[in-house]
Amino acid sequence: MNKAVFYEKTPPNFLLQDIEVNSASIHKLIRQVIRESYNEIFTINSIQNMVYEKLIRSPNLTQIHDFFVDNTPPDKNFQSYRKSLTPFIRSNLSLERLDSNNLKAVSSRLISFGNSDWFLCADISDEDLLNELYKEVIIVKDTNFLDLRLVKVSNQEVDSVSWRDLLDCPDSIFDSPTLLLDEIWKENNISISDDNLNPEFFQHYHPTSYKDENKFETRLKNSFDQNQHDHWKYARALLIKTETGNIFGLCKYKMTSQKNMNYWHLSRWTFDDGKFESLEMRRISKIKNQTIKYFYDPAIIYTLMRAFRCHSYTISIDSYSVELPYDQINPSQSLQLWATIARKILFSDYNNDLKAAANNFLSSVYREAGWVVE
């Protein structure tokens, strides 16, 4: 593609200093405009505007432009600097979300992880101040939107907050996959009549590994039993046995045009001496008091699918495709961001103490979502 070229002619006093072209410099610029502002509350749009005014006055705008174009997701086109700034602002740890529209800057905060003397710096302090305050400072420059500044503190009594305290996705976190399924069975207590339990019309969830299809529609097509059966004993289904003795499967109605049956179901299986005996099925209308409003509701159903895989497969610490809860609007309040941060530290060339802390960090993130780590 053609490279953009800027500033053949510029007005006097328009240009500022060059801006280093990497992810860390964008986060640094976000903190700079916040410190320079007299406001206490910000919006995504207000930060976009302030950073944009800095960007367009940089003498190396050509390189900045190329950076944003190169970092545009493969399935999207570069639209504007303001839009390109959005994922940086949302993942900037110096900003605390107050509601759907407003953000507040954090003046002082360290985030603990991995039970070590290393912390994530998550406030608006500049690099010079960090170097004065802490024993060691690592600023990771190329992070693909991550805001990653690590500081080593010699005083173990340092005031900090755990990364777990920042989470806010209770519908996606559960102590045990089997406990979750028992709760759903009790919460949805109306069973489908035997007249409607024709095995030819239902498909059970049957993934072949811990890694499932990324897209929801593809998962519906490839991760459910595609064969037609005239008896439940021939169905292919991933089943979970809970501590209470229940054996559950996840099921959907095959004929999605039948609106009265277009729901997710939990099936409970009974076996006698290893042989199929009977099956009971309940429509899932809610999970933990959260109503499933329509069939294509991946935010909730992904949680349920993950519960089956968490119980059935053990993962390794270097498994990159582990499915974790993610919130695009509030990345720091769900688990995917923290796993990405932990991986970035773990697989970088740092000392053994920091890598060990990152290893514990990543294991904790996986287990928080219900996975068993080998």
Give the percent of the chain with pLDDT over 90.
46
Residue 105: the pLDDT is 94
Average of pLDDT values for 199-222? 90
Tens-place pLDDT, residues 264-293: 899 999 999 989 999 999 988 888 787 887
Give, in degrees to the nearest 5, the angle at Cα 292 between 307 and 238.
30
Give the pLDDT band (50/70/90) at residue 138: very high
pLDDT score of 345 = 92
- Across the range 339-365, mean pLDDT stands at 90
Q: In what side-by-side order are the strands of the sheet with 136-139? A: 136-139, 149-152, 118-121, 110-112, 161-162
Whose CA is closest to 284, among 264, 258, 304, 300?
A: 264
What is each CA distance from 208 to 51, 223, 225, 308, in whole angstroms?
Answer: 46, 8, 11, 11
CATH code for the structural domain at 23-105: 1.10.10
In angstroms, rounded to a whole number, what is the distance separating the alpha carbons of residues 96 and 34? 13
Which sequence spans correspond to the domains of the chain? 23-105, 110-170+325-373, 177-298
Average pLDDT on 207-223 reads 89
Q: At what angle do helices 44-55 and 23-36 cross, to 10 degrees?
A: 110
Q: Which residue, 254, 257, 259, 241, is CA-closest to 204?
A: 254
DSSP H helices, the chain, are 23-36, 44-55, 61-70, 81-91, 127-133, 177-187, 216-222, 298-312, 335-346, 352-368
Mean pLDDT of 10-34: 81
Confidence of residue 172 (pLDDT cuts 50, 70, 90): low
Which stretch of 16-20, 237-241, 326-330, 341-345 has the lowest confidence by average pLDDT?
16-20
pTM of the model: 0.85
**Maximum mean pLDDT: which of 8-12, 85-89, 246-250:** 246-250
pLDDT at 257 over 50: no
More confident residue, 232 or 194: 232
The candidate with the shortest Cα–Cα distance to 369, out of 302, 272, 284, is: 302
Q: How far apart are CA 57 and CA 16, in angstroms?
A: 6
Lowest mean pLDDT among 71-85, 149-163, 226-240: 71-85
DSSP 60: T
